[in-house]
Amino acid sequence: MLTIALTILSFPGISKSQSPVQKKELIIFHAGSLSVPIKQISQEYEKRNPGTKIFLESAGSLVCARKVTELKKPCDIIASSDYFVINELLIPDYASWSIRFATNEIVIAYVQKSKYSKEINSDNWMDILQRKDVIYSRSDPDSDPCGYRTVFTLMLAEKYYKKPGLTEKISSKDKEYIRPKEVDLVALLESNVIDYMFQYKSVAIQHGLKYIELPKEINLSDPSKNSIYSSVSTDVAGSKPGIKMKVTGDYINYSITILDNAPQKDEAVNFLEFLLSTESMEIFKNNGQEPIIPFSTEQSGKLPSKLLKYLNEPKKN
């Protein structure tokens, strides 16, 4: 019996050293407006790292954060359309740092069949949106940064165009067409349910939509205009049910972090190293999201050492 037992224990077919290698599964929660570039970058990363499978889950950035803080869902990386979301909801209890890596701008997107599509421009859009036969849409400020950025754009437009009451007039209209995240609005527009939507320029580009560009003083694209942007603010749902938090106007800055309890922390760092590379930034740029180079952070002392190099010097195009 002893001989048989020793033979079984030494049989190479059941040796631990020859057991199948487990695939690494990386989980990323990301803003809806990052869906296209993140998918492209993830597919390329998987090709180069066949032992890794990436699972992508899109939602409004505030919802992404609450999946971790309230629902306790496992996640490795969160990519937000606003640095504020990670700073306010995830740091320091769930994450230790965040990197700003790209920007965008608010536009008014439409299609050829939209009412008054041949008439609308950057000077009269606010008048057209107020017409009774026009339906417009926006995303929910409590779920999605594009939602509260739309409110900021209206507040800034009220000042810029000297039109008192503009914010209330437009934001109180067509509330039934508010959706949880900005990419949810695209289907409404493409099916002609709505005529116009406040949207990120990148989403309009990715979906081949027409759009009206707005002055930099109100479109939240220019870091040098932050003194103007910061003159407006609004309250949105906070980190706990029933709690509100104040959000102040800021230029649009996409940010990313690895959670402190990430199931695949080392692999997450490797992925971010690829995402922050010149090659991946070109993917963001081609999708209408301009890289912010050199990248910035408020927690440089806590970043993984592999990522520090991206904060020091601009990358060549």
Domain ranges of the chain: 25-104+252-311, 106-237
- 175, with CB counted inside 10 A (0-12, 13-18, 19+), is exposed
Q: Is 50 exceeded by the pLDDT of residue 181?
A: yes
CATH architecture of the domain covering 25-104+252-311: 3-Layer(aba) Sandwich (3.40)
The angle at the Cα of 250, spanning 256 to 78, to the nearest 5 degrees, equals 15
Do 25-104+252-311 and 106-237 agree at the fold level?
A: yes
Average pLDDT over every residue of 289-295: 91
Please tell me the predicted confidence (pLDDT) of residue 27: 98
Please tell me the predicted confidence (pLDDT) of residue 19: 47
Please tell me the predicted confidence (pLDDT) of residue 21: 55
pTM, two decimals, is 0.85
Spatial distance between the Cα atoms of 236 and 248, rounded to a whole number of angstroms: 11
Q: Is 60 exceeded by the pLDDT of residue 6?
A: no
CATH topology assigned to domain 106-237: D-Maltodextrin-Binding Protein; domain 2 (3.40.190)
Strands 77-80 and 254-258: antiparallel
Phi, psi at residue 224, to the nearest 5°? -70, -15
